[in-house]
Amino acid sequence: MYCNSLTVPLFTEIEKLKTENIELKKSINEVGKLSLKVDDLEQHSRKSCIRISGVPYTQSEDTTKILCDIASKLEVDLQSNDISVSHRLPTKEGHKQIIARFTHTKKRAEFLKATKNIRNIPDLHGVGISQDLTKARSRVAFLAREAVRKGKLKSTSVWDGKIFLTALNDDKRIVSTKSELKDFINGKPGPRRSDIEHNVSLEPKLDLINVELQHLDILCFTETWLKPDVLENDVLLDNFVKPFRRDRVDRIGGGVAVYVKSYLSAKRRCDLEVNAVESVWLELKLKQNRPFLLGTFYRPPNSPQHLLNLKEHSFDLALDTGIETILIVGDFNDDQMSPRQSRMKEIFTRYGMTQFAEEPTNFCENSASIIDLVLSNNSNAVDLVHVGQPFLPANIRYHSPVYGILKFHKPSNTCFKRKIWLYDRGDYDLFLKMLSDVNWNDFIESSNNVDSLVERFSELLIDFASKAIPNKIITVRKTDPPWMNNYIRRTIRKRNRIYKKAKKANSPENWLQFRRSRNKTVNVIRNEKTKFYDKLIGKLRTTMSSIKVWWNLAYHITNLKSRDMNIPPINLNSTVVIDDDKQKAEAFNDYFASQSNIDDSNKLLPKDDIAPDRRLDTSRLGQIYHARVRTESSSLRDHLYRKNLESDPFCKCKQIETSEHFLLNCPIYHRTREALFVNLVGTLNIDTLLYGDPNITDIDNKNNFLIVQDYILKTKRFTN
C-alpha cells in the first residue's frame, strides 16, 4: 500500500508531462509553420526590390540616377519613373548597399537578366546586383553557394525569392529553409509543399499556353498564384477576352482564372460566387443553344468543413437560376479513385452531378489520383473528356491538363492560305530582262478593252515575278501567336509521339525521354518567341521611310494594339445571339438605318436658331487642350495610365491626376486657380468647367470656358 501510494502520483505526473510534451511539440510545429508563412509574406513584399553593392558613397548622391547609369551600361532602357523608391541601407559601418523598388516586375526582371554580363563591363567591376531576400532566405542562399563550392551540389540560383538547387545527379528542387537544404544535400525526399508543384504562377507560363492551347475556346485555371496587383494586361492571351479572375488576397497561392474566346458570349455571375470560396461562375450563350453555367473551383487540401458548406451554398444558388445545364470544373483535391465515401462525393451525388474524368490527373512520386474534375447535371452536355499530356515544366509532382468537348454549336474560325514573296532573294536582273523582252506596243494594240488589258498585264506581271522572286504558300491561322512557326509545330508533334510511346510502355526510360522532349519543346517555344521580338526590335532601330510601318511594329512589340479585331457576339435578345461576321454587319446596318426612319408627320419643324458654340472665342490651343481634358485623351497621368502609356496615374503631388484633380484640387496650381476661378459664374464643379452649366446663360458659359482655357494655358501643364 505504501509503494502504491508513492508510485501512483508519479505515474500520474509522468502522464501529465507526456501530454504537455505532445502539446509543446504541436505548438513548436505551429510556430514553425507560422514562421514559414511570415517569411513567405515578407519575401512577397520584396518581389519588386533589388540590392546593389560595391558602389562608392558620395555626398548628395541620387541613387535613382546611379541605377539608371548602371542600367545604361548594361544596355537596359531604365527611366527614373521605373523606380518607385531607392536609398542606401544604413549599417554600423555607414551607408553601403543600395536598395531599389521597381514600379513594375517586368522591368525588374529585364534588369536582373542583363546582370549576367556584368563581369564583362569594366566600369562595373566590383559592383554586385542581387535580389532582395529575407534574412532567413539570404542565409539559405549563402549556405547553398557554400555547398556548391565544396562539391556537394552541382549548381544553385535564386529567382523571384525562390532558391533553386541542382544535385550532382541532376535532381532539382526548390527550397526556402535550412532544413530543406540539408535534406536535399543528404538525399532525403522533399517536403510536400505546394510551391514545389507550382513554383511559378500563371503569368510566366502564358507564352507556352498561348501556343499549346490556342485551339481551345474556354480555358479554366486553378492555383494561378496571381495577386490583385498583377494587371490584366500582363496576363492576356491572344484571341481571348480579359480573364475572369478570383485572386487569393489573404495569403500566397491559390486563385482561379477563366479565359473565353472573343467570339463567345460570356457574362460573369458574381451573384453565384460565395466569399471564402475560390470560384468563378460564368453564364455563356451560344447560337442555337440555351445558355449554360460554367463554374470553376479550387478547393485547397485539407479544407475545413465550413468551406464545403459554402460550396454547397454556391451550387444551390446556381440551381436556383433556372438554367438547365450546369458545368463544374476545377481542382477539388478529393481523389475519385479512392474507395472511401468522401463528403465531396456525397455532395456530387446529392446534386445529381456526373463526374467525367476517368484517368489520373495528378501524379506524385509513388501515386496517381483523380482530383481535377469535370462535372455536369446534364450528362448529354459533355461529349468527351480526356486527360492530356503535361506540357508545362514540372519536377516529380504535377497536374495533367483535362480536356473536354461540349455538345454545343460554336462559331467557325477558319484559316486561309496566302502567297508570300521573299523579296530579299529575288533575281531582279532576270525580272527586268523578261519585262524588256515584251513588245509593249503590240501588247497595248492587241485589244481596245481597257479592263481586258489591265487583267492580262496583271497576269503577265505576276507570272514574271513568280519566276524571278522566290515565293511560297503559307497557311494563316488566326488563333496562332505571331511567333508560331513550323519548327515549333514539328517539335510539338515529336513530343506528342514520345508521350504516347511513354504512356503505352510506362517505363522509366520512356518517361525520362518524354521529360527531356517536353523541356526541349519549352525552350524552343521561348527561344522562337525571343527571336521574333528581337527581329521586330531590330527593325525598329533601323531607319524606315514609312512612319506607319514604324508605329505598327511598335504597337506589335508593346502589345498596345490587340491582334484580335473580332467584334464580340451580339445579343439581340435573351434567345438570339449573332456570332457570324456578315450577320453582325447586317445587324449594325439595320440598327443605324432604323435611326433615320422617324415618323415626323404632324411634327413642328425645328427653330432656325443655331445653338451658340461656347468654345470658339478663345485661342485654338486652349480649345484643343480643353477638349482633350474633357474627353480624357490628354497627357494627364491618369489618362495615359488608362491607355497603358504610363506605369502609374499619379501627379507630382502624389494624387491620381484626373481631369477633376488637375482643374480643381492639385496644390501645384493653387495660385493660378485662385486668381482665375474667382471670376467664374455658377456652381464650381467639374461638369461646369468641362461641359457648361445649364442653369446660367450662354454668355456666362462662354466666359467660364474662356477662364478654364486660360487656366490650362497658364499652368503650362501640357507645354512642358
Residue 586 lies in a domain: no
Residue 597 scores a pLDDT above 70? no
pLDDT for residue 4: 52
Pairwise pLDDT comparison (39 vs 243), residue with the higher score? 243
Q: What is the pLDDT of residues 693-705, one digit of tens each?
A: 888 888 888 888 8
Asked if residue 438 and residue 553 are part of one domain, the reply reads yes
One domain for residues 247 and 353: yes
Note the pLDDT of residue 486.
Answer: 87
Q: What is the pLDDT of residue 193?
A: 38
Identify whether 39 is part of a domain.
yes
Residue 412 falls inside a structural domain: no
- Whether residue 40 sits in one domain with residue 56: no
What is the residue whose three cell numbers read 505532445?
22
Residues 40 and 86 in one domain: no
Query: Three cell numbers at 646?
Result: 504610363
Q: pLDDT tens digits, residue range 43-62?
A: 777 878 888 888 888 888 88
Domain of residue 129, CATH code: 3.30.70.1820
> 213 lies in which domain range?
203-406
Question: pLDDT grade, residue 82 (50/70/90)?
Answer: confident
Say how many residues make up the chain. Answer: 720
pLDDT of residue 31: 63
280 and 399 together in one domain = yes
Q: Which residues contact 234 (CB under 8 A, 6 or more apart)?
A: 106, 203
Q: Are residues 379 and 238 in the same domain?
A: yes
Residue 616: pLDDT over 50: no
Q: Which residues contact 106 (CB under 8 A, 6 or more apart)?
A: 234
Among candidate residues 197, 212, 227, the one where a domain is terminated: 197
What are the pLDDT digits (tens) for 58-70?
888 888 888 888 8
User: Is pLDDT of 557 > 70?
Assistant: no
Of 1-15, 320-334, 628-642, minimum mean pLDDT range: 1-15
pLDDT digits (tens, 9 = 90+) for 449-489: 888 888 889 999 999 999 999 998 887 766 677 778 889 98
* 99 has a pLDDT exceeding 80: yes
Instruction: Give the separation between CA 602 and CA 593, rounded to whole angstroms.
Output: 22
Structure confidence at residue 281 as a pLDDT band (50, 70, 90): very high
pLDDT in tens, 231-260: 887 888 888 889 999 998 877 788 999 999
Q: Please give the mean pLDDT across all residues of the chain.
A: 81
Ranking 424-438, 448-462, 468-482, 493-507 by mean pLDDT, the lowest is 468-482
Separation of alpha carbons 369 and 356, rounded Å: 14
Task: Count up the domains in the chain and report the number.
Answer: 5
The DSSP letter of residue 681 is -
Do 216 and 350 reside in the same domain of the chain?
A: yes
Tell me whether residue 573 is in a domain.
no
Q: Provide the pLDDT confidence category of residue 190 given band limits of 50, 70 and 90.
A: low
Residue 480 has what pLDDT? 74
**Residue ending a domain, choose from 170, 197, 224:** 197
Q: Is residue 285 part of a domain?
A: yes
Q: State the Cα–Cα distance between residues 599 and 606, nearest whole angstrom.
A: 15
Quick one: 218 and 114 in the same domain?
Answer: no
Is 575 domain-assigned?
no
pLDDT above 50 for 195: no
Contacts of 315 (CB under 8 A, 6+ apart): 328, 347, 351
Does one domain contain both 471 and 394?
no
CB 99 within 8 A of CB 86: yes
User: Which strands, in side-by-side order, build the sheet including 83-91?
Assistant: 83-91, 94-102, 49-53, 128-131
Does one domain contain both 519 and 504?
yes
Residue 354 and residue 221 share a domain: yes
- Is residue 30 pLDDT above 50, yes or no? yes
Q: Can you tell me the mean pLDDT for 383-406? A: 81
- Grid cell listed for 181: 537544404
> Is this prediction's pTM over 0.85?
no
- The pLDDT, as a whole number, for residue 12 is 67
d(C-alpha 317, C-alpha 311), whole Å: 10
Helices (H), 543-697: 547-558, 581-594, 620-630, 637-642, 659-660, 670-677, 686-691
User: Which residue in the block uniquely carries the three cell numbers 558613397?
Assistant: 57
Choose one of 521, 538, 558: the last residue of a domain: 558
The segment with the largest mean pLDDT, out of 181-185, 327-331, 581-585, 702-706, is 327-331
Tell which residue, 462, 491, 488, has the closest CA to residue 477: 488
Assess if residue 150 is contained within a domain. Answer: yes
The angle that helices 508-541 and 486-505 make with each other, rounded to 10 degrees, is 170
User: What's the average model confidence in pLDDT over 377-381?
Assistant: 87
606: confidence class by pLDDT, cuts 50, 70, 90: low
Neighbours of 638 (CB within 10 A): 21
Model confidence at 5, pLDDT cuts 50, 70, 90, reads low
Same domain, 461 and 532: yes
Domain contains 336: yes
